[in-house]
Chain A
Amino acid sequence: MTRLEKKLADLKTAGRKGLFIYITAGTPTIDESLRATITAEKAGADVVEIGIPFSDPLADGAVIQASSVTALKNGITLEKILDMCKKIRAESDMPLIGMGYINNFMSYGYSGGSAAYDGFEKFIVDAKAAGMDGVIIPDVPHEESADMRAVCKKYSVHLTEFITPETTPERMKETCASASGFVYCVSNTGTTGVKKIDYSRINAKILDARKFTDVPMAVGFGIGSGEVAVQAAQNSDAVIVGSAVVKLLHAGKFDDAMNLIKEIRAALDKNFNK
């Protein structure tokens, strides 16, 4: 059982909802993002998604785009992110998931030349050794992920599958069949960022997905307060909060970011504790 599976199983036993917090590595500085990750756990995060900055983040809204620009200016790289993981591991057993775009993973360990290069497996090996438990690759849909699934399976690293309110039953059956760790339930069409969303659509999809898999479900996109987290957690096992926290961290409002995590934690526990 991986750290992630154990954490999610423990939460289930305790009748609690999981709280995943996304933190862009390298924003506002590399050291501050490391401190944020460690402090987030103390504030109530169960899992941290380490955001891996890419120059062209297609699935992300304005907040995570801006944080990625800052992080890249600060010189963040996959190597430095794995160093962060090792430092976190020295203090914590909290599950860590790397969330990044495929081109960065494929470039890991590249040393020159114009020939096709694929460093994905090398990354997974090093990520595992650094204490990363899984990866989320938002620009690799199920249809393109067969090779990556095989690599991740080989090293017992989770590769996250997605469902959205638009996912058809046929595709849901397929994606759920290879679900690992947790299923990322995208709450709406479009990109990451806090906005008004009707969570009833994804909540209904989650009930469908449960027919195909026992892997826990985490809802993300649009969650910026305790109240909204409660809506998103109705049928899911966990919620994912990204942009709302990243926006505060990027602005240097470290304490406000941690207080937001505490607020969401408290709202979830108040509404769902057995």
Chain B
Amino acid sequence: MNKRFGKYGGQFVPETVMPALMELEQAFAQYKDDADFLAEFKTYLQKYAGRPTLLYFAENLTAHYGKAKIYLKREDLLHTGAHKINNALGQALLAKRMGKRRVIAETGAGQHGVATATVAALFGMDCKIFMGVEDIERQKLNVFRMKLLGAEVVPVTCGTGTLKDATSEAIRYWSTNITDTYYIIGSVVGPAPYPEIVRDFQKCIGVELREQALNEFGKLPDYIVACVGGGSNAMGIFYDFKDEAAVKKFGVEAGGRGEDTGDNAKTLSGAGRPGILHGAYSYLLQTPQGQVVEAYSVSAGLDYPGVGPEHSYFKDAGVVNYVAATDAEALAAFQLLAKTEGIIPALESSHALAYLEKLMPNTAPNENVVVCLSGRGDKDVQSVAKILGEGVI
């Protein structure tokens, strides 16, 4: 199995984790092209998660900009409200085939935790979700959802108590309990073979889009825009188009409080340089001494200081353009989509929508733009209300 994307990726993990990675590699190699496995995965995607998702023509938003036609790939309509369920289902099915009775996961905003708790409930597996204490405080509703689904939420106090620390703690737990535990990583990050596994379970987004685009407007999209934290929804929608240079791809990172503040998550589009975190060599926000810097974004799903290694490869190879949108721009896009289309997007996806402000003026009316609407915004309305000074609850 190829463990690298160009020079990025690899398996930079403690020796205690290696047996588990080798077992996982072997299982993935066995099942990734296995007809029975893929048929089972497809059935759950269709009957449980709700695939294929719609490619929706956003007529009002298109009129707002008055340029190219804007389409939304509606991952927000999936069960549990985001694309995360694709990967959670795929990995849980893999775990089942490997005979593991317990699944664990890390979560930041809680979306991946909810998706994992959901599939664990579905397949009757024990489930532990590692979540930073800061995030538990910020995302109480998702913590309760996970508990309702039967999962144990493990508070992580080490480091800064956020997503990167929850990821470290999940890896530590896994290294201690490798024989009966499967680690469902939530994005295209981590040691090989995880970035490849998560990409393979998310690439259905782009494969569907290709077919839908040909049916809807008779050609491939001219532009695809997706937000990037770890980068799983972006990888999912870009991957099938990676060799199509005519399809211009934009990965939008969290610009946070703006250029000069340092409070952002611009791993690829800002101050990141290649380094090693959580098992992979990839662009990383870090100090000159190589200490990992805490990322910041209004959106909890994007404030991760690393990024999937295949995105680093795509950046260097010029396959995808990596850009950023600030908190303020994302909040404006969040409200604009709600008002024009009656769709409340996740704050993460709002970053992709926000980039339309810069992209649309350069487009032509006969072109088509597809935005990956990776999740719905119900989880965010409380924090947005707080930011906008609305007194709810």
CB closest chain-A residue, reference B8: A116
Quick check: B292 and A117 within 8 Å, CB to CB?
no
Quick check: B175 and A77 within 8 Å, CB to CB?
no
Q: Which residues of A contact B168 (CB under 8 A)?
A: 56-58
Known contacts A107-B286, A112-B288; decide if A58 and B14 are in contact (CB<8 Å).
Answer: yes
Complex CA–CA separation, A210 to B275 (angstroms)? 36
Contact with A along B277-294 (1 / 0, CB 8 A): 111000110111111100
User: Does B273 belong to the interface (CB within 8 Å)?
Assistant: yes
Instruction: Name the residue among B171, B172, B271, B278 with the largest chain A CB count within 10 angstroms.
Output: B172
Q: Size of chain B's interface in residues, with CB distance under 8 A? A: 39
Known contacts A56-B159, A167-B15; decide if A103 and B288 are in contact (CB<8 Å).
Answer: no
Tell me the dominant secondary structure on chain A's binding face.
loop
Complex CA–CA separation, A143 to B290 (angstroms)? 22
Quick check: A110 and B159 within 8 Å, CB to CB?
no
CB distance from B332 to the nearest CB of A (A): 29
Choose among B13, B172, B284 the residue that contacts A191 (Cβ–Cβ < 8 A): B172
User: Does A166 belong to the interface (CB within 8 Å)?
Assistant: yes
Tell me the dominant secondary structure on chain B's binding face.
mixed
Q: Size of chain A's interface in residues, with CB distance under 8 A? A: 47
Quick check: B177 and A189 within 8 Å, CB to CB?
yes
Quick check: B276 and A55 within 8 Å, CB to CB?
no
User: Does B83 belong to the interface (CB within 8 Å)?
Assistant: no
Interface Cβ pair total, 8 Å cutoff: 120
Choose among B14, B271, B291 the residue that contacts A138 (Cβ–Cβ < 8 A): B14
User: Does A78 belong to the interface (CB within 8 Å)?
Assistant: yes
Known contacts A58-B278, A103-B275; decide if A164 and B15 are in contact (CB<8 Å).
Answer: yes
Instruction: Name the residue among B11, B16, B277 with the largest chain A CB count within 10 angstroms.
Output: B16
User: Does A266 belong to the interface (CB within 8 Å)?
Assistant: no
Contact with A along B13-51 (1 / 0, CB 8 A): 111101100000000000000000000000000000000
Quick check: B274 and A189 within 8 Å, CB to CB?
no
Q: Which residues of A contact B271 (CB under 8 A)?
A: 114
Quick check: A103 and B277 within 8 Å, CB to CB?
yes
User: Does B178 belong to the interface (CB within 8 Å)?
Assistant: yes
User: Does B308 belong to the interface (CB within 8 Å)?
Assistant: no
In the A-B complex, the 10 residue pairs with the smallest Cβ-Cβ separation, listed nearest first, are A107-B290, A190-B176, A162-B15, A59-B14, A55-B291, A166-B19, A103-B290, A104-B290, A55-B292, A116-B274
